[in-house]
Copies of this chain bind each other. A is one copy, B any other.
Amino acid sequence: MPSPELLARLGELSDLRHAGQLLAWDQMVMMPPAGGPARGQALGAIQSLAHDRLVAPELGALLDDERADPQLVRVVRRDHELASRVPSELAAEMTRAGSDGFAVWLQAREAGDFAVFEPALRRNIELARRYAECFPELEHPYDALLERFEPGTTTAQVTALFARLREGLVPLLGEIAGQPARPALAGDFPVARQREIGMQIARAMGFDDSGWRLDDAVHPFASSPALGDVRVTSRFDDHSLTGLFALMHEVGHGLYEHGVDPALARTTLDTGVSLGVHESQSRLWENLVGRSEPFWSFWLPRLRDCMPQALGDVELDDFLRAINVVRPTLIRVEADEMTYSLHVILRFELELALIEGTLDPADLPQAWATKTRELLGIEVPDDLHGVLQDIHWSEGIIGYFPTYTIGNVLAAQLWRAARLDMPGLDDDLRAGEYGPLRDWLVDKVHRHGRRLTPAELIEQAVGGPLDPAPMLEHLSSKYRTLYGL
């Protein structure tokens, strides 16, 4: 057992994270609008208290003396050093610039004009470069930005991974884009009915009323203020079933937090290890389970019963084709399973160039249009459908986008490994039974929390490092079948 002093400090850090997560969840889901300014201040105060505690020299000294739990010490030392390296003035400036940048981004969107946003973006890029300078030992400045979200992953690794994806995806997309357009599902999908069947699916996945909540949010997300308290959100609308997939996605995130070993509670190890590994869980449930034939062979009859008017005469094959349409489009968050990664590659390449200084922020709309043409084969009509679409850069969040695709890549690796370990997996899905898959994920991924590094976790779970081959094979085989290529 680590020393009581160390555990007390980590407990306090966990409690502050708990408070911060809850304040943020409430801000998105519950808070009346007039509460906004005070909430921003309270969140800032909680973050600043947590930061002070994380950089405390007393914590460093306790870590130096601790012999009991090397894995714990490794993670906490990493957090301590990451926070200690960055001067508090710079951290405060980044927070302010992120908050200002978000407000300016909203104005720029209102005006539909990137020029309004450019000075704020330039400031965020400049601050991100200054942040990176705090870690001069790293090979590439972007490594420091990645490290915040995907510990241990380097720019060189992402570059190599994305190059292979790009090689595989662009030609495949070209083939599909040449096919006649597929009809999407049309009709009226009453929100109340979607919520009802969505809750049935969520409960089958592991949602449990004693520890979970589902609420509405404009931008769906999952949050877990503490072990045992899991909150997912979705957004349903009457004209599509996207809310169901968003729900499966968020329940996937929730299951990760829910599956962490209770022994890790309040040690700061009691949460997901990286954004990429987190995204692997959401994407696995959303896409590899939730858009599959075995899954819908169980659920489609139930969905039909629930919405007989819109879906009464829809056959499984047609339904699967409709929920798996591939089409190059302009907006990342609306992209399908295949083109999604191309949107991410585009953003990674651009933010890398911005950080390296080979792209000036003023030239970004032009560069965005060029890359959209190369990767997706379509034209960007305006800034709103291009460079102004994502919130991330406005808040100074740079180095985050790659984690989305790391998640997709890892999801396909985990899926392959799960199928090898569980030959009956398809039969389970056909029976609406997810217990064995969930248990497998708990064992391979969830229970470890932050105890293993992402690289260790991936190695143990799939027997090797991140590898794009399973995802490319999955997409190629799935879409060649669906599109009869």
What is the interface of chain A, defined by CB distance below 8 A to chain B?
Answer: 11-12, 15-16, 18-19, 22-23, 26, 30-35, 37-39, 41-42, 44-46, 49, 209-213, 225-230, 265-266
| Inter-subunit contact B33/A226 (CB<8 Å) | no
Contact B226 A39 (CB under 8 A): yes
Does the CB pair B32–A229 fall under 8 Å?
yes
Expressed in whole angstroms, the Cα–Cα distance for A18 and B211 within the complex equals 24
- With beta carbons under 8 angstroms apart, the residue of B11, B22, B41, B42 that contacts A26 is B22
Q: Which residues of B contact A19 (CB under 8 A)?
A: 19, 23, 42, 45-46
CA distance A38 to B21 in the complex (A): 13
In whole angstroms, how far apart are the Cα atoms of A12 and B266 in the complex? Answer: 24
> Main secondary structure on chain A at its contact with chain B?
helix
Q: Give the distance in Å from the alpha carbon of A18 to the alpha carbon of B40 in the complex.
A: 11
Determine the residue in chain B with the shortest Cβ distance to A26. B22
| Besides A15-B41, A22-B23, A38-B265, 18 other A-B contacts (C-beta < 8 A) | A11-B41, A11-B45, A15-B44, A19-B19, A19-B42, A22-B42, A26-B26, A31-B229, A34-B211, A34-B229, A35-B211, A35-B228, A37-B228, A38-B225, A38-B227, A38-B229, A39-B226, A41-B266
A380 to B: closest C-beta gap in Å: 36
| Complex CA–CA separation, A210 to B34 (angstroms) | 6
Report the Cα distance A115→B22, complex, angstroms.
39
Residue contacts A-B, CB under 8 angstroms, 9 given: A15-B41, A18-B38, A32-B209, A32-B212, A34-B211, A34-B228, A35-B226, A38-B227, A42-B225
Shortest C-beta distance, A276 to chain B (Å), equals 26
A209 surroundings in chain B (CB, below 8 A): 32
Known: A22-B22, A23-B19, A41-B11. A225 touches B35 (CB 8 A): yes
Q: Is the CB of A12 within 8 A of B45?
A: yes
Which residues of B have CB within 8 Å of A266? 38, 41
- CB neighbours (8 Å) of A49 from chain B are 49
Minimum Cβ distance to chain B for residue A181 (Å):
42
Q: Let me know if A38 and B213 touch, CB within 8 A.
A: no
Chain B contacts for A30, CB-based, 8 A: 30, 213
What residues of B have a CB within 8 angstroms of the CB of A213 in the complex? 30, 32
